[in-house]
Amino acid sequence: MRRILKIEYERSTHNLGMLLALLMGIGCILYQVIPVILRIIESKDIYKNTYTSFTRGGFYNLWLPGYLDGSTIYYFYFIGIIVALPFGISYVRDKNSGYIKNICNRVEKKKYLKAKFISTFISGGCAAVIPLIIDFLIVRLIIPIDCFEDIKGTVLNGITDWNAFIIQHSYIAFVIILLMWFCFGGALATISLMASAFSSNYFTIQLSPFFFMMILFYLPSFLPDSYGKYFPYNFLSLFGKGNPFICFVEITLILIVTYVAFVIGETRKDIL
Amino acid sequence: MIRLLRYDLVCGFAANIKKIVMFVIVMILYNVIAYHEIMAFCKGTGIKPGMLDYFCYVLGGPKYIPENMLDIYEIPVMWLMVQIMIAYIIGYYAITDLHRYGQHILLRSESRIKWWISKIIWNVITVLSMYAIVFLMTFITGYISGAECKGKLTEEICVGVCKLSSVTQNEKLLYIELFIMPVIISVSISILQMTVALITYPIIGFVVSQSITFLSTIYTTKILLSNYAMLSHSRYTCFSNIVYSDGLIYGFIVMIISIFVGSIYFNHVDILPKNKDI
């Protein structure tokens, strides 16, 4: 199991899809952050008005999950494609090329499928979270993480337990947010594996997490506002009233469904 | 050339039949939502809807977002789904055909340019067919709801339900902005998508075309082509500089450049399938 997992992990992270996914994510980050840096550089009064306006609300007001900008919304919109790009179509590609027959001669099919599931989860999570880490490193150049001079009117102003936790334990909250994004990105990527159990069209498989996210964007309009916290735009960003518990419960549900459909479902099928 | 075109039309539609059925289902859902929203508004206000109000709801585009007011932005999922489904139908056929049976067709046609032009014509006809479905289903929805054929937009419905900032009653502008511009811009973007898909990968073509479309719902600028397809972003309904005449020229330029670049690339590329990563 360790050997096949290593092979699949190498394949999932060292490919053109991962590069393109990271380029898309980093492009969004740079679009968001560069104008802010330029404004600070151009401002003559750097230690007075301009700097103070950025420190209001602290680090979380400038970081992608808390910064309301076209690039943030773009990142949320295309997250389904970003996570599926690295390894989403690998199973169908293996089947079509005959690679799966060579692998299943050497390794139990269930182990191969589990290794693929884990690698897809990790590659999807990395594609989702690496741009956030880069954004953190850049924003951290401008503002300290635990500086909350005046949160009135900023993204952390909402009266929720999660916002209070972020203010009190900034570093721990930062790690939890990264973990949420990593696990959610990974779970979304496994949806493409589930789609590959039902379809052999590469395009459909790569777009299946994207269509899933479109459904999750649309459903809140049919439900009362109090249900909004159960949807990704609210629990992954700092604008809504979501919290990590809801996020991890939903991730677990998605992983259970995709695991059953892909690993258990495909183990029973013949590879010929 | 005619045989090539006939092959593309028959096989192109046959290969995408499931996606076309999905598109019809999406349009039925969209029209049901349009019917319920407009009828609920009309019951509350006592106004009678016109046929054009339904077309405005479906084709008018998302709400205009002034600069620095992103907190009022909501992703216009249903309007985007129409564009996504068209991109989804267009996205993959040309490239898969090239790597499968289409290679034999290409050999027999003895001309790469003819193959490429046939694909362009297939692309245009597919987009026109999709919009024909949109128009037909919206007309049926308006007919079932008893909408009047007024030839004008009802201001209260357009501002209250369709999310326009204001309404123009200039009929010529209205018909151009509501019926002709969405089709022309969609055709331009689809041809651009197919060219990018040919040169790189189908998923990248999809991302490029949908990035232009999605960013147009946020930023009302002349650079983003899809702005010209939205009545709600036009100068005649909001404070923007989007004029349909610029859109026509821009759309045709994008179309011609895409066709030209695609034909040059296709004339020189190795058409044998490679083991691609994505």
> In the prediction, which pLDDT does B277 show?
62
> In the prediction, which pLDDT does A158 show?
62
Report residue B227: phi and psi, to 5°. Answer: -60, -30
- pLDDT band, very low/low/confident/very high, at A155 (cuts 50, 70, 90): low
- A18-22 long-range contacts, CB within 8 A, separation 24+: A18/A85, A18/A86, A18/A87, A18/A123, A18/A126, A18/A127, A20/A85, A20/B204, A20/B278, A21/A82, A21/A83, A21/A85, A21/A86, A21/A127, A22/A127, A22/A130, A22/A131
Interface with B, mutate which of A72, A74, A120, A203 (most B CBs under 10 A): A203
Q: Is residue B107 part of a domain?
A: yes
By the 8 A CB rule, do B89 and B16 touch? yes
Question: Residue B42 belongs to what domain range?
Answer: 2-268
Calculate the average pLDDT of chain A: 86
A270 versus A7: the higher-pLDDT residue is: A7
pLDDT greater than 60 at residue A54: no
pLDDT greater than 80 at residue A151: no
Q: Amino acid identity of B93?
A: Y
Residue by residue, DSSP assigns chain A as -HHHHHHHHHHHHSSHHHHHHHHHHHHHHHHHHHHHHHHHHH-S-IIIIIHHHHHTT-GGGTSGGG--SHHHHHHHHHHHHHHHTTTTTHHHHHHHHTHHHHHHHHS-HHHHHHHHHHHHHHHHHHHHHHHHHHHHHHHHHHS-TT--S--TTSGGGS--HHHHHHHHSHHHHHHHHHHHHHHHHHHHHHHHHHHHTT---HHHHHHHHHHHHHHHHHGGGGS-GGGGGGSHHHHTSSSSS--HHHHHHHHHHHHHHHHIIIIIHHHTS---
Q: Cα dist. B197→A89, B38, B275 in Å?
A: 17, 39, 16
Q: Which residues have a Cβ under 8 Å from the Cβ of B175 and sit 6 or more positions away?
A: none
- pLDDT band, very low/low/confident/very high, at A153 (cuts 50, 70, 90): low
CB-CB neighbors (< 8 A) of A17 in chain B: 277-278
> In the prediction, which pLDDT does B141 show?
94
Residue of B nearest to A92 (CA): B278
Size of interface A-B (CB pairs under 8 A): 61
Q: Is residue B122 part of a domain?
A: yes
Q: How far apart are CA A157 and CA A143, in angstroms?
A: 18
User: Is B71 within 8 Å of A16 when comparing Cβ atoms?
Assistant: no
Residues of A near B (Cβ–Cβ under 8 Å) read 15-17, 20, 24, 68-70, 73-74, 77-78, 81, 85, 89, 97, 201-203, 206-207, 214, 217-218, 221
> In the prediction, which pLDDT does B240 show?
87
> In the prediction, which pLDDT does B111 show?
79
What's the structural domain count of chain B? Answer: 1
By the 8 A CB rule, do A36 and A138 touch? no
pLDDT greater than 80 at residue A138: yes
Q: Amino acid identity of B217?
A: T
> In the prediction, which pLDDT does B189 show?
96
> In the prediction, which pLDDT does B95 show?
81
Percentage of residues in chain A having pLDDT higher than 70? 88
Give the pLDDT of chain B (278 residues) as one tens digit per residue.
788 888 888 888 888 888 999 999 999 999 999 999 999 999 888 888 899 999 999 999 998 988 878 888 888 999 999 999 999 999 888 888 777 777 777 777 777 888 899 999 999 999 999 999 999 999 999 999 988 887 888 888 888 888 888 887 777 888 899 999 999 999 999 999 999 999 999 999 999 999 999 999 999 999 999 999 999 999 888 888 899 999 999 999 999 999 999 999 988 887 766 666 66
User: Is B70 within 8 Å of A206 when comparing Cβ atoms?
Assistant: no
CA B278 to chain centre: 25
Nearest by Cα to B205 from B189, B219, B216, B218: B189
Interface with A, mutate which of B203, B204, B214, B275 (most A CBs under 10 A): B203
As a dihedral over the C-alpha atoms of residue A44, residue A48, residue A53, residue A56, rounded to 10 degrees, the angle is 150
> In the prediction, which pLDDT does A52 show?
56
Q: Please, how many CA atoms are within 13 Å of residue B37, restricted to the half-sphere of its CB? A: 21
E strand residue ranges, B19-157: none
For B97-131, write each residue's pLDDT tens digit: 777 777 777 777 777 888 899 999 999 999 999 99
pLDDT greater than 70 at residue A65: yes
Burial of A242 (0-12, 13-18, 19+ CB in 10 A): buried
Q: Residue B145: how many CB atoms within 10 A of its CB?
A: 19
Give the end-to-end CA distance of chain B in Å, rounded to a whole number: 32
Nearest by Cα to B90 from B22, B183, B186, B190: B190
Q: How far apart are CA B140 and CA B85, in angstroms?
A: 21
Query: Mind telling me how many Å the CA of B170 is from chain A's nearest CA?
Result: 33
Q: How far apart are CA B214 and CA B230, in angstroms?
A: 12
> In the prediction, which pLDDT does B122 show?
92
A149 versus A119: the higher-pLDDT residue is: A119
Q: Is residue B33 part of a domain?
A: yes
Give the end-to-end CA distance of chain A in Å, rounded to a whole number: 22
For A176-196, write each residue's pLDDT tens digit: 999 999 999 999 999 999 999
